[in-house]
Structure 1
Amino acid sequence: MNVDPAVPLACEPANQNAGTALQDPEQGALSADEYALFASVARVRRVYAGETLFHRGDLGTTMYVIAKGAIELDFGEDLIAKSLGPCEFFGELGLLIGDHARSADARAIDDGELLELRHEEFQRLVEIDPTLVSYFLRRAIMRVVFNEQSLIRRLRRRNQDLQSALDSLRATTQQLSRTEALVRRDELTGLYNRRGLLQHLRERHRNGATSGLGLLLIDCDQFKRINDEHGHLIGDRVLQGVANILRSVAGTNDIACRLGGDEFCLLVKAETREEVMRYAEFVIHTSHGLLQMPQLPPLICPMSIGACLVCAEGEWNDWYARADTALYRAKRQGGNRVEWQDNAPIPA
């Protein structure tokens, strides 16, 4: 790791309004998680009061994060200079589109330290945590677009160059959207994967929307035999068939997920046991109906389901353990059935 021990590994708000910085496209402060990630690969550069990092018009591909001290960005002409402090970043446009002419003079206001990130360091960030980097890039792009649109309105003569930069950024945004979808989706079935499900749950927790939910934990019966007798391509087709059933029953606010292998789950909007069981029975009855059709090789397989209501004060591991207890009971009783687990404490 390239970080000097003296460089802080967490961002402390510079003022009382710092907590809202990420919501304002003009601001550029890293979150604590982002700062720690960037600091783990960045190069440390010491700067001294009055030192110029670059001039307006210089070509550059390096992005900077302020670890200590402050930097002034002077945009010249009739634009207001901007002062940046710890955990704020600048120069990201050069990193994103390469050899971009700097739009301001950057000068150190006092002695400090910067984190430098070039293309090779940024690629390491993507490899370490693509989801966090994609969120950072989306926010950074929004900030750049906001600033560049303001410049277009005030400096019409730069319109052509800035429009080219915006076109590049739009293409990057589209690529990021596709990348983010791949990170959160299971490639075989198109359902959410475990990472996508946990991200969705984190968003629900932030919004206080974890009440009134039911969980179905679904496991394919005899799936290993299908793979052994018919091969993995047929096994994949069976998994896609299970995914199609879950997708068909999932409502707008429900989440269908492939947790891994032949294990799936369905997080549904429900207030009562009866509501949750209606989902489970639909899945079982649909698979039963498909199994009655002539199948060689098989298109679907029997399923066992463990069902429960979700406790708003609990976490995913608590909910999973409860549903898994019911699923294990369904398996033990021969499979191809639904078992319910109440919210009473689960025996150790």
Structure 2
Amino acid sequence: MIGRGAAADGCEPAGIATTAMAGIVHALLSPDEIGLFSGFAQRRNLQQGDCLFRRGDRGSSMFVITSGHVELDFGEDLVIKRLGINEFFGELGLLIGDHLRSADAHAGQDTEVLELGHADFHRLVEAEPVLVAYFLRRSIMRVVSNEQMLIGQLRRRNHDLEAALDNLYVTTHQLSHTRELVRTDELTGLHNRRGLALYLQECRAQEDGPAQGLLLIDCDRFKQVNDQFGHLAGDRVLQSVANILRSMAGADDLACRLGGDEFCLLLRRANAAIVQHAAEFVLSAVHGLLERSHGMPQVCHLSIGASLLQADADWSEWYANADRALYQAKRGGGDRLCWPHDVTEIH
């Protein structure tokens, strides 16, 4: 054992420096330190699986392993640290006193440890102050090294978590985008028939029931537009109609392209006056666009069949009522609104 005056010149004890620097992270004690600690600490024998302390426990002792090994589990998905013979741990409890343990400590096999408490440590300091001073300096370096390692692990885990969240966001966005594509008409951006069916299902699941008003809309002489000006002009007409319906639809309403040049507008909360007003707005907007059109058509006249919806009926009945009114509007020359009660029997 090294005496009190062995490092009086300020130098570290011979042969310790290299060993200590190599053992900062693993906290290896030199043979001199082991011999010194053994003379003051209490020996404890542990069986495999025995717990020395748990994370969050308060402690004021440090431990040195003389046989077997101890596993430190810091939780939070951090790497479990395994300590073997001549390694020490728990020194912050000794140095600070009443310190909250940062890990669970379990014996990985039958193990013997030296337990050094405050009173033991004070006697040790009186016996070998130089060696203890060097041990303390090395312990502080180890604490800093361990904290840096834990911070690095937490940063890596946080980075992995951020990456996982980013991937989840991208996947969710892709799924949402896919769902929108499934229920959206590619040309106009309105809902398609599938979107309409899903909307009707969602409405029925709500307390206030299904939509209350329906406008069934058809473009007048649309085939002539395609034949005379080409399909690009026809697509532009359909997109203009879609924009008008989109501007008319409220947050709870649904504008839909049923196919070809046929559209519908479902009004979530409506009466006859509201449905009438919506149809007149659509017709007026078309007239405004037509007045400003020169040469290539931007839109065409529309025929509209309107009906109020009954909660106990289904879509096919709603559609049939509005379709009869739409047929009557077509027969009348188009560019108009008709209701089912406007339909007259033809013999």
Matching residue of 1:328: 327
Matching residue of 1:300: 299
Cα 1:172–1:295 change in 2 (3 A) is same
CA distance in 2, matches of 1:262, 1:325: 17
Matching residue of 2:273: 274
Deviation of 1:158 after TM superposition, in Å, equals 5.1
**Aligned pairs for 1:105-116 within 5 A:** none
Q: 1:185 touches 1:193 (CA, 8 Å); kept in 2?
A: yes
Matching residue of 1:210: 209
SS of structure 2 residue aligned to 1:266: strand
Structure 1's consecutive aligned runs of 4 or more residues displaced over 6 angstroms after TM superposition are none
CA distance in 1, matches of 2:240, 2:288: 13
SS of structure 2 residue aligned to 1:311: coil
Matching residue of 1:244: 243
Matching residue of 1:290: 289
**Could you state the TM-score of these two structures normalised by the residue count of structure 1?**
0.52
**Could you state the TM-score of these two structures normalised by the residue count of structure 2?**
0.52
Deviation of 1:202 after TM superposition, in Å, equals 0.4
Contiguous gaps of at least 5 residues in structure 1: 1-76, 80-154
Q: 1:308 touches 1:343 (CA, 8 Å); kept in 2?
A: no
Deviation of 1:272 after TM superposition, in Å, equals 2.2
CA distance in 1, matches of 2:213, 2:342: 11
Deviation of 1:343 after TM superposition, in Å, equals 12
CA distance in 2, matches of 1:292, 1:161: 60
Matching residue of 1:312: 311
Q: May I ask how many residue pairs the two structures share in their alignment?
A: 195
Contiguous gaps of at least 5 residues in structure 2: 1-73, 77-152
Deviation of 1:160 after TM superposition, in Å, equals 4.5
Q: 2:200 touches 2:210 (CA, 8 Å); kept in 1?
A: no
CA distance in 1, matches of 2:244, 2:159: 51
CA distance in 1, matches of 2:296, 2:214: 31
CA distance in 2, matches of 1:279, 1:330: 16
Q: 1:221 touches 1:302 (CA, 8 Å); kept in 2?
A: yes
Aligned residue type for 1:298: P
Matching residue of 2:167: 168
Q: Alignment identity in percent? A: 55
Q: 1:308 touches 1:342 (CA, 8 Å); kept in 2?
A: no
Cα 1:191–1:318 change in 2 (3 A) is same
Q: 2:203 touches 2:210 (CA, 8 Å); kept in 1?
A: no
Aligned residue type for 1:226: V
Aligned residue type for 2:163: S
Q: 1:216 touches 1:280 (CA, 8 Å); kept in 2?
A: yes
SS of structure 2 residue aligned to 1:292: helix
**Aligned pairs for 1:332-343 within 5 A:** 332-342=331-341
CA distance in 2, matches of 1:167, 1:249: 37
CA distance in 1, matches of 2:218, 2:341: 19
CA distance in 1, matches of 2:163, 2:287: 57
Cα 1:168–1:256 change in 2 (3 A) is same
CA distance in 2, matches of 1:288, 1:167: 48
SS of structure 2 residue aligned to 1:301: coil
Deviation of 1:178 after TM superposition, in Å, equals 1.4
CA distance in 1, matches of 2:341, 2:205: 26
Matching residue of 1:188: 187
CA distance in 1, matches of 2:342, 2:318: 9
**Aligned pairs for 1:1-348 within 5 A:** 159-211=158-210, 213-342=212-341
SS of structure 2 residue aligned to 1:165: helix
Whose radius of gyration is greater, 1 or 2?
2
Deviation of 1:330 after TM superposition, in Å, equals 0.8
Aligned residue type for 2:309: V
Cα 1:300–1:197 change in 2 (3 A) is same
